[in-house]
Structure 1
Amino acid sequence: MVQLRKMSPKRKILLASSLVLATAGIAGYFVYQGQSQSQQTQLSNQVDSLTVREAVDKSKKTNLVLAGEVAANNSSKIKIDSTKGEIKEVFVKNGDTVTAGQPLFRYSTAQELTAQSAQYDAQIKSNAIAAAQSTASLKWESYQRKLAEVNGLKDKYNKSNDESLLEQIKTAEEALAQSLIDAKNSDNEVKNAQIEAEKAQVTADTENERTKYDTVHADTAGTITSLNEDLPKQSKAKKDEETFIEILDKSKTLVKGNVTEFDREKLALGQKVEVVDRKDPKKKWTGTVTQVGSLTNEASASGGNKQGQQENPNQSKYPYRVELDQADNMPLIGSHTYVNVLDSSVEPGKLALKSSYTFSKNGKTYVWKIKDKKIVMQEVKTQKKGQDLLEITEGLSMEDMIATPKAGMKEGMEVGQNVKA
């Protein structure tokens, strides 16, 4: 038989203290739990308060959340090409609205002098036509005089039969023949002058057409949101690096991003979504899916989303695009957002609540609306949406305050009052 060792008085004291502390701890835990449950029960029995908008947010069922970036319908960033020369003239200013193809600015180049010289040459050649025509006219007038002279001499001879006139007639006919040659040569000179003038004008038009390359035109319609007026005076390095003019087409505001191959089937063209500002979740907009790519996004595949690629480098991504509905305060271009793809049974922007926020009485549907910090019964018109959602069509607005229905609530109760009181 094993003999038990006797416990020393010091060990007895330590053991007794440990038992006392353990008992106190357990008792304290149950007391705390009882108090906590009592507090939770008390809070759950109080009249609460929340805005309809908050209740709508709590009622939403989100099927998918995507990251996106706000973009303009179109954009264009134009830099200065130092190889073309210095900027001679700028035709627009910051804030101007421009159309596609509208001139923005013009370079000063040697082509201007070439085109001007070609136009001068064309003008000289054109003037040569008039000179040749004038000469030809004189030649033909001379021919007509000589022809009249020959005819006059022949008439005299026919009337008088004077043999001495025959020599004069011969000399006059030789002069007439030469005059005809001169007149015809003058006509050829006119034709040559016309040909030279046409060639010179074609050259002038060609050189003038080349000057159009000295003028930079807008490649998209939109608003000039940035014009760096000092950049033309800066160094070549700065000109090559910085943007001179930026144009944004804000006729539509878009949200662009990528969706994985696994979530792609949850998006559909024409689907309504909710867009939330990533920095300020209170800022929300509605929009419509206008693009779901059928080909993988090359930018993503090549590392456009480095974080995503690190998480799953083998996951294919497809571009999506959402067109936002017009609102008073549209998001800033370039800001980041979340795109909530909601349960399709409720259209984003509609006032839809879980049925638990409503109650029925005498065949009518009500909510507890808060006025002056007291609850009153507010009748609402509803349409059933989905399994547990009701769209409120009349009786409430997003800015109203409501309370969650609890057993025992009565009109006139104040926010925070214990329902069981």
Structure 2
Amino acid sequence: MKRKIWISILVVAVLAIVIGLNVFRTYADSTANVKTESVKDEEINSTVMTPGTLTMANESLLYQDPANGEIKEVLVKEGDSVKKGDPIITYENPDLEMEKEQNEINIESLYLRINSLDKQENRLKEKENELADDVGEEEAEETMETELEQVKMDKRMANLDLRQALLQRDRLKQKISKLEVTSEISGVVIKVNEPGVSQSVLEQPILRIGSMDNLVVEGKLSEYDTLNVEAGQKVTITSDALPDEKWKAEVMDVGYMPEATSGEGGASSSAVQYPVTVKISESEDLKLKPGFQMILEIETESHQALTLPFEAVMQDGEKQFVYVVKEGKAVKRNIETGSSTPKRIEVTKGLKKDEAVVIDPPEKLKDNMEVTVK
């Protein structure tokens, strides 16, 4: 008798457990735990992001000029500060020095010749005056005319030669002045390459001087982005080298013509890119060096809008929807979206401010399902 009672109790307990599990499963399938966030009314900024390279707006590159001769000395070293007009390179040119010396000798010789011809002309005139006392002025003039005309002609030729020699001296002075090269800008010597005569060396600048007071970032824009970017727009600059730092800047210039690009093997690429130059604010303390890779976030538009996190938006074909929590239930709501930021998206239709939307909805979540907000 007792055995039958225990068996009955066990059967009832098993049935109770099975029924309880089914009830729990049914309840669990009809409810879900969710996280929510409220729809916010905030300022949203539309941005264009593109990589760029930090460089100097004011930069001077000096190349070796074989026409000046050989470089005698580079007067500066990397890191030196220079002012505009400071000597930075000197050349030596033996041929030019010899030409200068020959020109000086030629000029001196011409002056001596002209002085000699002046004396000769004076002597001939004195002789003409003495002869005039004996035979008369007219006959004396006819007698001395040929010699005097020849001397005058020689003087004119000597003066022409002197003018030409003096012009040559001026040209030589200009050439010699180029033997001492001065800086075109004030700045810092960034790079010094050893002078040489090989073609590869001649193609490199001997000196690179730049001003660290005026730094810019040069990047590229697609055809579409150029329609939205213009001079004066605000820019936020970041760098992987200093991930926690940000710098303020503004668009200085957008290229009118695209840059030539090439694909693999030098083939022409269909991608068209336009240069963009961004000027960093003068007040910004930039701890980077020219050549660093930067990321430009250009603010193309700013306006007030309702926004929500990207994680709340679901896709059903071409339609977008969210789940709005109403009276303990998740209600499916079709929406339309607009501009976006890296974390949030604008809602242009379908939601109101402060409505609670489900973030990362679970797969089992259905329309009008009861939910528990975590």
Q: CA shift at 1:203, angstroms? A: 3.5
- The residue identity in structure 1 corresponding to 2:231 is L
Change (3 A) 1:322 1:173: closer
Change (3 A) 1:119 1:226: farther
Contact 1:70/1:336, CA 8 A, preserved across alignment: yes
Kindly indicate whether residue 60 of structure 2 is the aligned counterpart of residue 76 of structure 1: yes
Distance 2:258 2:199 in 1: 36
Number of the residue aligned with 1:333: 290
Contact 1:291/1:322, CA 8 A, preserved across alignment: yes
Number of the residue aligned with 2:115: 130
2:226 to 264, 275, 281: 264
Kindly indicate whether residue 277 of structure 2 is the aligned counterpart of residue 321 of structure 1: yes
Q: CA shift at 1:96, angstroms? A: 0.7
Kindly indicate whether residue 81 of structure 2 is the aligned counterpart of residue 95 of structure 1: yes
Distance 2:284 2:45 in 1: 26
Distance 1:65 1:176 in 2: 95
Change (3 A) 1:224 1:139: farther
Distance 2:198 2:231 in 1: 47
Contact 1:136/1:190, CA 8 A, preserved across alignment: no
- The residue identity in structure 2 corresponding to 1:316 is V
Superposed, 1:88-237 pairs within 5 Å as 88-90=72-74, 94-98=80-84, 104-109=88-93, 110-147=95-132, 149-150=133-134, 177-211=142-176, 214=179, 216=181, 218=183, 220-226=184-190, 228=192, 231-232=194-195, 236=198
Distance 2:190 2:231 in 1: 34
Give per-residue Cα distances to partners, 1:245-283, cap 9 Å, x unaligned: 111144522111011123222312211111123321332
Superposed, 1:398-413 pairs within 5 Å as none
- The residue identity in structure 1 corresponding to 2:153 is N
Higher alpha-carbon deviation: 284-293 or 184-193: 184-193
Give per-residue Cα distances to partners, 1:215-254, cap 9 Å, x unaligned: 5565x5242423638x24x785784475421111445221
Q: CA shift at 1:321, angstroms? A: 0.9
Distance 2:147 2:202 in 1: 64
Structure with a larger share of its residues in strand:
2
Higher alpha-carbon deviation: 109-118 or 253-262: 109-118
1:246 to 204, 208, 211: 208
Contact 1:66/1:338, CA 8 A, preserved across alignment: yes
Distance 1:202 1:208 in 2: 10
Number of the residue aligned with 1:281: 243
- The residue identity in structure 2 corresponding to 1:264 is T
Give per-residue Cα distances to partners, 1:5-37, cap 9 Å, x unaligned: xxxxxxxxxxxxxxxxxx9xx9xxx9xxxxx99
Give per-residue Cα distances to partners, 1:337-364, cap 9 Å, x unaligned: 1111236438xxxxxxx99xxxxxxxxx
Unaligned residue ranges in structure 2 (runs of 5+): 1-20, 308-338, 340-374
What SS is found at the alignment partner of 1:194? helix
Q: CA shift at 1:213, angstroms? A: 5.9
Q: CA shift at 1:200, angstroms? A: 2.6
Kindly indicate whether residue 51 of structure 2 is the aligned counterpart of residue 67 of structure 1: yes
Contact 2:192/2:206, CA 8 A, preserved across alignment: yes
Change (3 A) 1:181 1:210: same
What SS is found at the alignment partner of 1:139? helix
Structure number, greater radius of gyration: 1
What SS is found at the alignment partner of 2:111? helix
What SS is found at the alignment partner of 2:107? helix
Give per-residue Cα distances to partners, 1:92-135, cap 9 Å, x unaligned: 66321225xx7642322212312331232123212321221122
What is the count of residue pairs matched by the alignment? 271
CA RMSD of aligned residues (A): 4.4
Highest relative contact order (Cα 8 Å, sep 6+), 1 or 2?
2
Unaligned residue ranges in structure 1 (runs of 5+): 1-22, 31-35, 45-57, 151-168, 347-353, 356-386, 388-421
Change (3 A) 1:141 1:245: same
Change (3 A) 1:108 1:292: same
Distance 2:252 2:126 in 1: 79
* Percent identity for Structure 1 against Structure 2: 18
Contact 1:98/1:221, CA 8 A, preserved across alignment: yes
Give per-residue Cα distances to partners, 1:184-223, cap 9 Å, x unaligned: 43333322221221233234434444546655565x5242
Give per-residue Cα distances to partners, 1:359-404, cap 9 Å, x unaligned: xxxxxxxxxxxxxxxxxxxxxxxxxxxx9xxxxxxxxxxxxxxxxx
Q: CA shift at 1:138, angstroms? A: 2.3
Structure with a larger share of its residues in helix:
1
